[in-house]
Amino acid sequence: MYHAQTLPNMINMAFKPRWYLDMLSTSRRTFGNVVGHAQGVDNLTTLSEWSAQQLDPTLNWEDVAWVKEQWGGKLVLKGIMDPEDARWAVDSGADALIVSNYGGRQLDGGIRTGQDVFRAMALGAEGTFIGKAFFNGLGAMGEAGVERCLQIIAQEPDLTMAFCGHTDINEVDSSVIWQEMGHGSS
């Protein structure tokens, strides 16, 4: 698989020599908000070690309840993936949950299109975050790219609803997922 992707990439680079040379001459990217600012973090190796030290395996749902009590305001937890964890989070005082796979930017996941928004809403979400999508627009075309991305994501759920025979996003449920996939009603 790797070799199959290498040849097209090499051909693509051959037609973009200026970009390729610019990339070779750029400084190595790093996490500038941490490297050089956190004590003992000077490079990616020490960043990895520092990051591992930041995780506390003893944290538990009682700690969430304590944070909620100390905070006194609305508590939103991000990263909930499991229904049991969702129940624990709510029981511990969370006012809202953000389902997140944390790997959506590396894996084929996350909200990237209006159809993804539609699917999430059909599966019970009350809203979605679209950070990756508008960052792609920003990288491609700057502010105009962000505006275009937002236009597309706003239009796509309407088109998807029309294909599924609906006009109100609040009336869709998981049965439309099966229709969208061509399996008929469940």
54-109 pLDDT, tens digit each = 888 899 999 999 999 999 999 999 888 889 999 999 999 999 998 876 555 555 57
Q: Express each pLDDT in 11-53 by its tens digit.
A: 888 888 888 788 788 777 777 778 888 888 888 888 888 888 8
Q: Are residues 121 and 175 both part of a single domain?
A: yes
How far is C-alpha 148 from the geometric centre of its chain's CA atoms?
19
Collapsed DSSP state (helix, strand, coil) of residue 21: helix
Structural domain that includes position 168: 109-186
> Is 137 within a domain?
yes
How far is C-alpha 167 from the geometric centre of its chain's CA atoms?
27
| Greater model confidence, 102 or 129 | 129
> Is 9 within a domain?
no
User: Rounded to whole angstroms, how far apart are CA atoms 177 and 43?
Assistant: 45
pLDDT-wise least confident of 29-33, 132-136, 168-172: 29-33
Tokens of 101: 């796979």
Residue 113 has pLDDT above 90, yes or no: no
Looking at residue 186, its pLDDT comes to 44
Please give the full DSSP string across 129-142, using - where no structure is assigned: --HHHHHHHHHHHT
> Is 178 within a domain?
yes
> Is 22 within a domain?
no
Question: pTM for the full model?
Answer: 0.60
Q: Are residues 157 and 122 both part of a single domain?
A: yes
Residue 9 has pLDDT above 70, yes or no: yes
Select from 75, 100, 125 the last residue of a domain.
100
Q: Are residues 113 and 186 both part of a single domain?
A: yes
User: Rounded to whole angstroms, how far apart are CA atoms 131 and 110?
Assistant: 9
Total residue length of the chain: 186
Burial 120-129 (b: 16+ CB within 10 A, else e): bbbeeeeebb
Residue 2 has pLDDT above 50, yes or no: no
Q: How many domains does the chain have?
A: 2
User: Rounded to whole angstroms, how far apart are CA atoms 141 and 130?
Assistant: 17
Residue 56 sits at the vertex; the CA angle it makes with 51 and 59, to the nearest 5 degrees, is 145
Select from 61, 82, 100 the last residue of a domain.
100
Q: How many CB atoms lie within 10 A of CB 91?
A: 11
